[in-house]
């Protein structure tokens, strides 16, 4: 049985443009959300209902991408390149000395280059089809993050993009885990990236009643709170370097945690609503635990999908109770990283996986931010009173995507 460990991580998200800053801000319970009116690249009418997003701040990719190249690479791919290079740096190796076909790149993305699509569509309407950029298609397509990272690293093994809405990144990590565990790869850069805070996306998500209309940053993304009224649209990227355990040990790598289980299911129920009974989501958690060789009641902590939408938080709570049982569910610590950064769509699962790894390694479970009002239908321990210092030996992290996609990772402390 090949073990799979995490030896490097990189992230760009509303709480920081590297892992260290991200973790420091998590520990300090900082809120990474922004007002749309303060963004330079998004223009909406003053009376537009949505006021708050989870935007990346002060992003600079010049260390890894030159000025000419930047113009030919969409922002979501830029995020992936920088985060991948940071993950390699953390790992202590560029892996140039291994067989390149034993190194893979699997990066999920929910939407791809939506901002570019919006720009090029406007150009098409104003000036005609001949003025659409020759770079539009290769910049926009969702697989280009994975493809471009392979060009930067020279990794020639498995290379693809998972596109399963809000579960994209967790599926990417899960598939990478299986590739390493089953012997097809020795290392794999994996995760998710997304950059679609645009007028077009805000309009679409708002019209389907998915977004929070709060104008208070501290009461916009409030998972499990009775007054939750929608998620906050975010952007960012998370990349993890997965490595076969003996391979990592042989080169003296620092091991941050172990991925030991992965579960993937589908609700087969509704385009946007999770299933009320939580059966399929609970099965994803159960499968992850089974593969990891742990009983569900041994789970110390769950990083919930926790979107701050009425249905998701209620039904995810049901799913947790179903898989753990009422008694164990009442004791397990649960939180939502989305309370600090919003919902990063196709990148959410990877950024939350990084947050989970950091909490496992540091024996600290972060607070769920913004919570004030108890909901009888969300009656578990969501860590609403502050950070919890506690040994975390077994953790789950959940992602539940539009289309009914469910994915769970089981992450263990390595002692």
- The token duo for 300 is 């110390």
Residues in the chain: 415
171 classed as catalytic: no
166 classed as catalytic: yes
Interatomic CA distance for residues 159 and 80, integer angstroms: 14
CA atoms within 13 A on the CB side of 36: 24
Tell me if 1 sits within 8 A of 244, measured CB to CB: no
Give the containing element (helix H, strand E) for 259. strand 257-266
Number of other CB atoms surrounding residue 379 within 10 Å: 13
Tell me if 6 sits within 8 A of 255, measured CB to CB: yes
List the beta bridge partners of residue 381. 333
Interatomic CA distance for residues 136 and 113, integer angstroms: 9
Q: Which one from 61, 109, 166, 237 is the annotated catalytic residue?
A: 166
Beta carbons within 8 Å of 404's beta carbon, 6+ residues apart: 266, 267, 268, 269, 270, 274, 275, 280
In a 3-state reduction of DSSP, which class is residue 62?
Answer: coil
DSSP state, 352?
H
In a 3-state reduction of DSSP, which class is residue 159?
Answer: strand
Interatomic CA distance for residues 208 and 117, integer angstroms: 20
Q: Which one from 190, 237, 247, 305 is the annotated catalytic residue?
A: 305
User: E strands, 124-164, where?
Assistant: 159-160
Tell me if 304 sits within 8 A of 215, measured CB to CB: no
Q: Which one from 109, 196, 289, 343 is the annotated catalytic residue?
A: 343
Residue indicated by tokens 């789950």: 396
Burial profile 107-144: b = 16 or more Cβ within 10 angstroms, e = fewer:
bbbbbbbbbbbeebeeeeeeeeeeeeeeebebbbbbbb
247 classed as catalytic: no
What residues are annotated to the active site?
A: 166, 305, 343
């Amino acid at each position: 049985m090949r073990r799979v460990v995490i030896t490097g991580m990189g992230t760009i998200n509303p709480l920081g443009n590297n892992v260290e800053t991200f973790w420091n801000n998590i520990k300090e319970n900082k809120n990474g959300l922004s007002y749309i009116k303060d963004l330079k690249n998004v223009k909406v009418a003053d009376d537009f209902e949505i006021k708050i997003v989870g935007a990346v701040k002060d992003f600079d990719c010049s260390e890894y991408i030159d000025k000419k190249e930047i113009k030919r690479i969409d922002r979501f791919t830029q995020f992936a390149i920088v985060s991948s290079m940071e993950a390699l740096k953390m790992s202590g190796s560029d892996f140039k000395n291994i067989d390149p076909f034993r190194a893979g790149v699997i990066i999920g993305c929910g939407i791809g280059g939506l901002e570019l699509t919006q720009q090029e569509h406007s150009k098409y309407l104003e000036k005609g089809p001949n003025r659409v950029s020759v770079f539009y298609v290769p910049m926009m397509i969702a697989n280009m993050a994975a493809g471009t990272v392979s060009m930067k690293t020279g990794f020639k093994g498995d290379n693809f993009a998972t596109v399963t809405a809000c579960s994209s990144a967790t599926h990417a990590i899960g598939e990478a885990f299986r590739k390493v565990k089953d012997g097809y790869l020795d290392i794999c850069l994996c995760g998710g990236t997304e950059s679609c805070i645009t007028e077009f996306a805000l309009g679409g998500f708002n019209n389907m009643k998915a977004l929070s209309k709060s104008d208070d940053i501290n009461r916009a993304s409030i998972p499990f709170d009775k007054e939750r009224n929608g998620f906050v649209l975010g952007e960012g990227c998370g990349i993890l370097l997965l490595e076969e355990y003996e391979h990592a040990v042989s080169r003296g790598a620092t091991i941050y945690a172990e991925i030991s289980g992965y579960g993937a299911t589908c609700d087969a129920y509704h385009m946007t609503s999770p299933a009320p009974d939580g059966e399929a989501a609970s099965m994803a958690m159960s499968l992850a635990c089974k593969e990891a060789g742990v009983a569900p009641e041994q789970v110390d902590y769950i990083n919930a999908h926790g979107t701050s939408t009425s249905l998701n938080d209620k039904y995810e709570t049901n799913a947790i109770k179903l898989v753990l049982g009422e008694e164990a569910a009442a004791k397990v610590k649960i939180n939502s990283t989305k309370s600090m950064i919003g919902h990063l769509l196709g990148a959410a699962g990877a950024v939350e996986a990084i947050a989970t790894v950091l909490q496992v390694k540091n024996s600290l479970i972060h607070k769920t931010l913004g919570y004030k009002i108890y909901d009888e239908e969300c009656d578990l321990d969501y860590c609403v009173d502050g950070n919890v210092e506690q040994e975390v030996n077994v953790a789950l992290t959940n992602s539940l995507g539009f289309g009914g996609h469910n994915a769970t990772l089981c992450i263990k402390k390595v002692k």
